[in-house]
Structure 1
Amino acid sequence: MFTSGFGSLFQIANAVWALALFLAGMQVVFSGIFTSMVLLNRGEERD
């Protein structure tokens, strides 16, 4: 069903899912870092 001359495409589907989940995780990490940096800068303005 999902095969071609290059072999099974199930491995490619797994790689696509792994890449999508990895990129989503990295987006969460970097958004958390960015949010904490914004909150740190906002805290310094209260002085």
Structure 2
Amino acid sequence: MTNIVECDPESVSIGDPVEAVFEEAVHRDGEPGSPLLRFRPISG
């Protein structure tokens, strides 16, 4: 299980190519957290 970002969920299918991206996490108190690994579809 992972998070797919930068697209509509309906536009992604199992087997579609994706690339790893890291999002900056921020704690509730505003302090920076560890980067979060996410995936986005490869456009092209």
Q: Shorter-chain TM-score: which interval?
A: under 0.3
Normalising to structure 2: TM-score of the pair? 0.17
Give 1 or 2 for the bigger CA radius of gyration.
1
Choose between structure 1 and 2: higher strand proportion: 2
Structure with the bigger RCO (C-alpha within 8 Å, sep 6+) is 2
Choose between structure 1 and 2: higher helix proportion: 1
